[in-house]
Amino acid sequence: MSYNVKNYNSQCGDKTFIGGEITILSSGKLKIENGATVEGLQTEVYTLPPAGEAIGGIKQIPSQADSSATTISALKTDFNALLAKLREAGIMAVEVAE
């Protein structure tokens, strides 16, 4: 009887081969010691696209100025402007009118 496995160690144990998936539970961690090397990762700097274009599948919304409201009514207006931008960008669902 023989078995095929996706994850295994080499005979001398100095390499581990992963053909499956690694899942790190919320109580666990992945630790890479100082001086260790990691190969095959993207190392170039990512430049954000202009406002309004998708970022990794998420659309960036136009800038919202910091609120300088001095009344609750003015703060409500500023907050609603932010909510409108989130809805327009598709980040937040549009409310159904009651």
For 55, phi and psi rounded to 5 degrees? -115, 105
Interval 10-34: pLDDT, tens: 888 888 888 888 888 888 988 888 8
* Beta-ladder partners of 55: 58
Q: Which residue has the higher pLDDT, 58 or 34?
A: 34
pTM: 0.40
pLDDT higher than 80, residue 9: yes
3-state secondary structure the chain: CCCCCCEEECCCCCCEEECCCCCCCCCCCCCCCCCCCCCCCCCCCCCCCCCCCEECCEECCCCCCCCCCCCHHHHHHHHHHHHHHHHHCCCCCCCCCC
For 75, phi and psi rounded to 5 degrees? -65, -40
Residue appearing with tokens 């009514």: 73
